[in-house]
Amino acid sequence: MNEHQYSNISQIDTAHHIHPFNNAGELKEKGVRVMTSAKGVYVTDSNGKHYLDGFAGLWCVNVGYGRERITRAVTQQMNELPYYNSFFGTTNTPAALLAQKVTEHAGPHMNHVFFTNSGSEATDTWFRLARTYWAALGKPQKTAVIARRNGYHGSTVAGASLGGMKPMHAQGGLPIEGIHHINQPYWYGEGGDMTPDEFGLLRARELEAKIDELGEDNVAAFVAEPIQGAGGVIIPPSTYWPEIARICKARNILLISDEVICGFGRLGTWFGYQHFGVEPDMAPIAKGLSSGYLPIGGVLISDRVADVLTKHVGEFNHGYTYSGHPVAAAAALENIKIIEEENLVARVHDDIGPAFHAGWKTLEDHPLVGEAESVGLIAGLQLAADKATRRRFENGDKLGSMVRDAALADGLILRATGDRMLASPPLIISHAEVAHLVSITRKALDTVLTAVN
Ligand code: PXG
């Protein structure tokens, strides 16, 4: 296509295409950027401008763009069996092999998976399954689910309800009944004079208090992201997760680790719960499962839950037309083979993750920056007016957008969530590309510093 046709695409798009999480009226006025191709860690728009994708699409393109192996696997599967359902006692080869492959990496207690098409559907799946689990054990009143403020678990009714995003609750009459939120372990913003470790324990013990308030016999599960992604890459203090796991066990409620962002190597482990040393009962997955090449998600299901499902539930009345879709499963299977063969998880843990951390950390000396943290290849940078007191800018949200826009103009896609800058590049990013990412980020911070002074 030539440029003229692409400018036409932008007009056609805004005339007919309603975008997710966008102001439709505003978009119509501003127009949209048309992405046309991608390779490695770079994406290209219709003006021919290249961008280092510091965000891996939307936290998902773990193996990078342009992997022809995946294209070939998908093409072959399309030709052999483009679709068949997984209902009525039927399966297909890629779905079966993918279930085996995913659970191979999930830990000895986690041997089953239910396939969906997205993280949101995965959320709805474990939500129904958690309640079904307790009902099957003769505790039908154990239905409440505890989640966190500023968490994100998807956009379906259950997903948006479980998420702790106020603007999402404001639309569509959410949250639905039986969902309760506790505070997040965001030490920088909310920890006051406490040490991070003290604060981590305090926030974890809000779970205990909430369970006691509701009554242990009424609570089915607690859900959290190992590191909150959309909420701003909130890395919990090291005391947080062990205490959460202890409480879930002591109070006999299911622990759900939302692995949609943290899964498939992002933290330098196959799953985020392994980084934090906990064993959840279920774990929704998506994104890095197929590196976004085709839509697929799922729920990892522990033996504890699977045993009850198998022996006591009878039929689980839940499923999607495309659960275990052969072509999406073939894409995911090839994607995981790439992660294995290129040792990407170990690479993030031992090599590029530490290099990224060292580079990102250098930004802490910048006058606009309060803290720059990362685990593996997920990073958050806190804009702050005063490093010593952790005082944040009153117009921090605006500054965040300005940094994002300055980076974009310079060919780097970064994310701004309020006054936090986020990065989550493909796991194949090279050392030189990391250095480039850090230097453009610094330049963007400088540009904004100059603009506001
Ligand atoms: N759980 C988590 C932790 C997620 O990050 C979902 C569930 C839902 O997945 P699907 O595939 O249904 O989108 C997500 C998705 C953002 C942003 O602005 C993040 C997501 C989706 C859209 C925007 O950072 N994460």
Instruction: Report how far ligand 1's centroid is from the alpha carbon of 266 (Å).
Output: 15
Nearest atom, ligand 1, residue 422 CA: 24
Nearest atom, ligand 1, residue 229 CA: 5
**CB 433 less than 6 A from any atom of ligand 1:** no
Give how far Cα 4 sits from Cα of 44, 193, 363, Å: 16, 57, 40
Torsion sign over Cα 211, 216, 221, 226: positive
Q: Which two tokens stand for residue 51?
A: 């961008």
Q: Which two tokens stand for residue 295?
A: 């839509």
Burial of 52 from C-beta contacts in 10 A (0-12 / 13-18 / 19+) = buried
Instruction: Report how far ligand 1's centroid is from the alpha carbon of 161 (Å).
Output: 14
**CB 295 less than 6 A from any atom of ligand 1:** no
DSSP alpha helix (H) spans, 410-452: 431-452
Nearest CA, atom 19, ligand 1: 230
Contacts of 109 (CB under 8 A, 6+ apart): 279, 302, 303, 304
**CB 119 less than 6 A from any atom of ligand 1:** yes
pLDDT given for residue 29 in this prediction: 87
Nearest CA, atom 18, ligand 1: 230
Question: Which of 59, 285, 294, 417 has most ligand 1 atoms within 8 Å of CB, for mutation?
Answer: 59
pLDDT given for residue 4 in this prediction: 60
> CA-to-CA distance for 360 and 372, rounded, in angstroms?
6
Instruction: Report how far ligand 1's centroid is from the alpha carbon of 439 (Å).
Output: 28
**CB 164 less than 6 A from any atom of ligand 1:** no
Distance of CA 120 to the CA centre of its chain: 11
Claim: this prediction has a pTM higher than 0.95:
yes
Closest CA to 346 of 272, 268, 275, 271: 268
Closest CA to 202 of 152, 162, 247: 247
**CB 373 less than 6 A from any atom of ligand 1:** no
Contacts of 267 (CB under 8 A, 6+ apart): 226, 227, 275, 348, 375, 376, 378
Q: Cα-flanking dihedrals φ and ψ of residue 226, to 5°?
A: -50, -50
- Below-70 pLDDT ranges, the chain: 1-6
> CA-to-CA distance for 178 and 157, rounded, in angstroms?
13
pLDDT given for residue 7 in this prediction: 72
pLDDT given for residue 28 in this prediction: 85
Sheet of 35-39, strands arranged across: 35-39, 42-45, 50-53, 412-413
Q: Tell me the sheet residues that pair with 124.
A: none
For the chain, list the domains and their CATH numbers.
33-63+343-452 (3.90.1150.10), 69-341 (3.40.640.10)
Question: Which of 19, 53, 58 has most ligand 1 atoms within 8 Å of CB, for mutation?
Answer: 58
**CB 58 less than 6 A from any atom of ligand 1:** yes
Buried b (16+ CB within 10 A) or exposed e, 97-125: ebbebbbebbbeebbbbbbbbbbbbbbbb
The answer to whether 386 and 393 have CB atoms below 8 angstroms apart is no
Contacts of 149 (CB under 8 A, 6+ apart): 164, 181, 182, 183, 184
The answer to whether 400 and 419 have CB atoms below 8 angstroms apart is yes
pLDDT given for residue 346 in this prediction: 98
pLDDT given for residue 25 in this prediction: 87
> CA-to-CA distance for 375 and 272, rounded, in angstroms?
10
Instruction: Report how far ligand 1's centroid is from the alpha carbon of 184 (Å).
Output: 17
